[in-house]
Amino acid sequence: MRDGTQILLLEDEPAIASTIAFAVQREGFVLTHCPLVRDARRELSSRPFDLVVLDVGLPDGSGLDLCRDLRSGPETAGMPILVLSARSEELDRVLGLELGADDYVAKPFSPRELVARMRALLRRSVSGHPLGRLEGRVPDSPFVLDREGQRVSFRGVALPLTRLEYGLLATLLQGNGRIYSRDKLIEAVWGQTVDSMDRTVDTHIKTLRSKLRDAGADKDCIVTHRGMGYSLVAR
């Protein structure tokens, strides 16, 4: 059973990687395994992932450096990150969380526990975030919301959205004209409040607007309310 959830694993020890691969594939997740930091960077720059699992010590660098870089990139700032390390020292744990990791699992770990922690992170992020009950056609509008597939269609055509763009659009559609502050959007889409992410929201709103325009939607359907936030008029 595949549920299509995309996981990137950065881990250089083959035995650990294959244990994790077995456990997550049994859950229906799709795993991309990278043994080197540079492989992981290449994969992460080419497409979105739902969750990243990072080892700390890699032959060509540190998973913590990658963690910090992911947090500062607009496309990856909200990506759930779980750090995995053989070193269970408090310092590593604190460093990992300070650099923006969402959770930390020390080796040796049970695959069952790791998968449970991954599921918890995924629930907190867009895919499982309780955005409300709106599903299917949005009343009096050309939008159709498919939560299961995390897709939004406009006039019957699926919009090519990233995970975060989908989260923003689904939230705004759900609000039906309600104004969401940037903080509220961050909370709804990223599942937590993170400091200094206002610009990240603006960046995603900008790309979302341009995709809506490309699909033929009214370019002003997402309204900016100066000093307040955004709303969407779904007509």
Residues binding Ca ion (CB under 5 A)? 12, 55, 57
Q: How near is the Cβ of 92 to Ca ion at its closest, in Å?
A: 12
Residue 31 or 58: the one with the smaller Cβ distance to Ca ion is 58
87 versus 206: smaller Cβ distance to Ca ion: 87
CB of 13 to Ca ion, least distance (A): 6
Please check whether residue 137 is in contact with residue 156, taking contact to mean a CB–CB distance below 8 angstroms.
no
Residue number of the CB closest to Ca ion reads: 57
The residue among 17 and 217 lying less far from Ca ion, judged by its C-beta, is 17
Closest separation in Å from C-beta 151 to Ca ion:
37
How far apart are alpha carbons 31 and 4 in whole angstroms? 10
Q: Rounded CA gap, 55 and 206, in Å?
A: 34
Smallest distance, Å, CB 61 to Ca ion?
11
Which residue, chain included where needed, has tokens 């859950």?
Answer: 27
Which tokens sit at 140? 């009096």
CA distances from 131 to 123, 144, 183 (A): 12, 15, 15
Nearer of residues 95 and 159 to Ca ion, judged by Cβ: 95
Is 63 or 142 the residue whose CB approaches Ca ion more closely? 63
Residue 201 C-beta-side C-alpha neighbours within 13 Å: 26
How many C-beta atoms lie closer than 10 Å to residue 4's C-beta? Answer: 12
Helix (H) or strand (E) holding 82: strand 81-85
Closest distance of CB 21 from Ca ion, Å: 15
